[in-house]
Structure 1
Amino acid sequence: MILKNFFIGLSQNQFLNTMAQKYGFKLGAKSVVAGTNVEEMIESVKELNMHGISCTIDNLGEFVYEREEATKAKEQIINVIEAINGSGVDAHISLKPTQLGLDIDYDFCLRNLEEIVGRAHSYNIFINFDMEDYGHLQPSLDLIDELSKKYENIGTVIQAYFFRAEQDIQRYRGYRLRLVKGAYKEPEEVAYQDKKEIDRNLLRLIEYHLVNGKFTSIATHDHNIINHVKKFTIENNIPKEKFEFQMLYGFRKEMQLDLAKEGYNFCTYVPFGTDWYGYFMRRLAERPQNLNLIAKQVFNRKTNTIIGFGVGTFFLGRLTKK
């Protein structure tokens, strides 16, 4: 819990976020972010597709408070939709309502989202609504309810640390859902605080939706949960076509490839852009072991230098051989 709070605090540090955007790709951020522009991102997606891995694409950015910035984000996401359609890659979109203006004006955000969802619908591209902190949970679900009146190409995320998660998954069982543990700092009045309780609830949610839901995306790097799902689906005769595993771009690459080779549907969450810092810190808050995974991938054997952006202090740490 101390580490989680530490990384959550870092994710909200504006100075470090600014420094990350300025220097991150020079210091190794490209190991967890698939480029700074659409063209670079599409090439990364093509490479993953070659290994039988589909992708969900996140144009990084959130908690936007200016209409101009939200409009720019909308246009960028539409550019991504056009790029997916034009290139023929196996990919869909993940987006955050706060990037599209939820904190500015609800109706303004709804109009932005309707334009995005409508364009994606014309190309048969799926749109997943990422879930953010508790304060934005119900407004985000309200947006989904409104858009669902007209469109069917949308789904969302259920975060297992919320007490209301069981109620929400029952209500939205007819949707394609991504199930996650949750990565924001939430008060004990609304969310489980103990990791074991969160893990248990995640498994309950996964089992429920596998049996009762439309399509289940199991987003985790935890091999124990993955093994549990494998066993559960076999014992309950759940076909592989009803679910997929998801992991983040740059994390546990070998396991991603292995799961795809085993014949499981696999989807990599592919973020791109320069506004990556808050996203990455929450990944470490969600699972501090991710720091070790990334450190190995940005380790320079020649200079014995490890990129320190992973711990949020943005330093280069020199290692001395013993």
Structure 2
Amino acid sequence: MLKDLFIGLSQNQFLNSAAKKYGLKLGAQSVVAGTNIEEAIVKIKELNAHGIACTVDNLGEFVNQKEDATAAKEQILAVVEAIHEHEVDAHISLKPSQLGLDIDYSFCLENLKEIVSKAHEYGIFINFDMEDHGRLQPSFDLLDELSKSYDNIGTVIQAYFYRAIEDIEKYKNYRLRIVKGAYKEPAEVAYTAKEEIDSNYIKLIEYHLLHGKFTSIATHDHHVINHVKKFVKEHDIPNDQFEFQMLYGFRKEMQLELAKEGYNFTTYIPFGDDWYGYYMRRLAERPQNINLVAKQVFNKKTNTILGVAAGAFLLGRLSKKKK
């Protein structure tokens, strides 16, 4: 029920638009690393100083105009340049839909090619974030096409899809981020029970740790993290074959602790003012996440679940007052 609520909120264009105007008033700075590249670079340098790498996401939702996709491409190219110029330990995460996948496949491919080519020139890795089922195969097709010319790209495997085990076998020679999945998918294509998703998640992680190129384990769940620690020790898997990943603003102490323990660690750095859909999907993916940041985003006296609903309501009210 909570997952459906958060996904519904993430897809509400009215609330997304309102969030752009009032995000800082709602405490969005605790879940995004700034509204521009300069602010994001400052956060990246702070994390790098603690031995933590970063993957940078230029936030964007509902791109259905070519000029918006082109603007997103230019912004991501600017991030690539900034990573190179500042010599920070960071790479790029991007969504094909932000770069025109919903508009025209060939147009999106050309935008991606420009980004991947520039990043390849600088030795910067590009990760293709995966989205909902309707965009899944086209995103893999883009990866396949670009892989013919470039080796600095990888993608995400979502554990709730039935096809995930075949995908992870097919792309075992890629650097992969493994996640549970954050969209509402029909039972025809995906597991819907938490127990089934959790079980498949562990299965995928173990498979790629044993057979894959490099495994990024994206989780805030200390049970999963402890399982991975035990698994890699039992199978003599060196630390340079995997990393843990968490989101900016979530479980900060655990992030620092894992880095201090000598594990490779990457923080997912979203920046920009189009943060609302991103944040709602993180709550949909794991509703427990709300407890990790609620004290920073909402008033301490506010009940956490009511806080999210109040935030959505407030966005609507603020926007209506401006009309």
2:217 corresponds to: 218
Could you say what the CA RMSD is over the residues aligned between the two structures, in angstroms?
A: 1.5
Q: Distance in 2 between matches of 1:222 and 1:52?
A: 21
Residue in 2 that maps onto 1:135: 134
Deviation at 1:63, TM superposition (A): 3.4
C-alpha distance in 2 between matches for 1:16 and 1:226: 34
Q: Deviations over 1:211-232 (max 9, x none)?
A: 0000000001111111100000
Q: CA deviation at 1:20?
A: 1.0
Greater helix fraction, Structure 1 or Structure 2: 2
Q: In structure 2, the residue corresponding to 1:52 is in which secondary structure? A: coil
Moved more, 87-96 or 59-68: 59-68
Aligned residue pair count? 313
Name the residue aligned to 1:42. Answer: 41
Instruction: State the partner residue of 1:319.
Output: none
- Equivalent positions of 1:11-50 (< 5 A) are 11-50=10-49
- C-alpha offsets along residues 170-215 of structure 1, whole Å, 9 cap, x if unaligned? 0000000000000000000000000110000000000000000000
Which amino acid is 2:146 matched to? L
Q: Identity of paired residues, percent?
A: 73
The answer to whether the aligner puts 1:5 opposite 2:4 as a matched pair is yes
Q: Which deviations, in whole Å up to 9, do the C-alpha atoms of 1:47-78 show, x marking residues without a partner?
A: 11111100000000133110000000000000
Instruction: Specify every segment of 5 or more residues in structure 2 that has no aligned partner in the other structure, as ranges.
Output: 316-323
- The match for 2:104 is 105
Aligned AA (2:287): P
1:7–1:285 Cα contact (<8 Å) kept: yes
Name the residue aligned to 1:124: 123
Between stretches 60-69 and 117-126, larger displacement belongs to 60-69
8 Å Cα contact 2:298-2:307 kept in structure 1: no
Pair 1:152-2:151 in alignment: yes
Structure 1, unmatched stretches of 5+, are 317-322
**TM-score (norm: length of structure 1):** 0.94
Question: Superposed, which structure 2 residues align to 1:246-261 within 5 Å?
Answer: 246-261=245-260
Match in the other structure for 2:289: 290
TM-score, scaled to structure 2 = 0.94
The alpha carbon displacement at 1:295 in A equals: 1.1
Q: By how many angstroms is 1:23 displaced? A: 0.6
The 3-state SS of whatever aligns with 1:218 is strand
Partner Cα separation in structure 2 for residue 145 and residue 299 of structure 1: 43
Name the counterpart of 1:205: 204
Shift of 1:16: 1.3
1:243-282 → structure 2 map (5 Å cutoff): 243-282=242-281
Distance 1:309 1:29, change over 3 A: farther
Give the superposition deviation at 1:19. Answer: 1.6
Amino acid at match of 1:125: I
Cα contact 2:218–2:246 (8 A) shared by 1: yes
